[in-house]
Homo-oligomer: A and B are copies of this chain.
Amino acid sequence: MRMGEGVEWSLHCLLTLGWLESDEPVPTAKLAAVFELPPAYLNKRLQALVRAGVLSSTPGAHGGFRLARSPEKITVMEVVAAIEGAEYAFRCTEIRQRGAGKGRPQDFQRQCVITTAMRKAELAWRRELASHTLADLLAAAPGVAAERTRDWFACVD
């Protein structure tokens, strides 16, 4: 099971926007250049964050992305759900109702015990991701990372 690279890309872009604290929208091309990412693919991920209400976008030649909310109000869980989808990783296909189980629907009204165990684990994972905000990540990151990002943007501007 593997999470797509879009989660790493998105969270690093959010940290970057958090460090810049810019009133001006930051263009995709610049965010892509910070990490040497392909701009079109990155843009697709950032648009998903716009749909989730995490980023706001401004179209046009001087357009780009800004945080739509303060870093305290953006959780890692929201970012993961925006990029990876909100569905559970374990998807029960009810194989228990096939073959030997066939034709007795009344026996399958309760959720399968396997699904119950998998859901509990995914909820523990989600709870943990929901407990981390962008503000927490900004506070935990080394100061030098924030400085380096601001310096880099000042140079390329």
Contacts and interface: CB of A to CB of B under 8 A. Distances in A.
Interface of A: 1-5, 7-9, 11-12, 15, 33-37, 76, 84-85, 87, 89-93, 95-96, 98-101, 104, 107, 110, 113-114, 116-118, 120-122, 124-129, 132, 136-137, 140-142, 144-145, 148-149, 152
Contact of A140 (B99, B116, B125, B127): B116
Contact of A129 (B33, B117, B144): B117
How many copies of this chain?
A: 2
A149 to B, nearest CB: 6
Contacts of A92: 8
Contacts of A117: 76, 129, 132, 136-137
Q: Would you call the interface of chain A mostly helix, strand, loop, or mixed?
A: helix
A121 B148 CA distance: 28
Contacts of A104: 148
B89 A3 contact: yes
B1 A99 contact: no
19 contacts: A1-B84, A1-B85, A1-B89, A3-B90, A3-B91, A8-B91, A8-B92, A12-B96, A36-B98, A76-B114, A76-B118, A100-B152, A107-B145, A113-B141, A117-B136, A121-B126, A124-B124, A124-B125, A125-B125
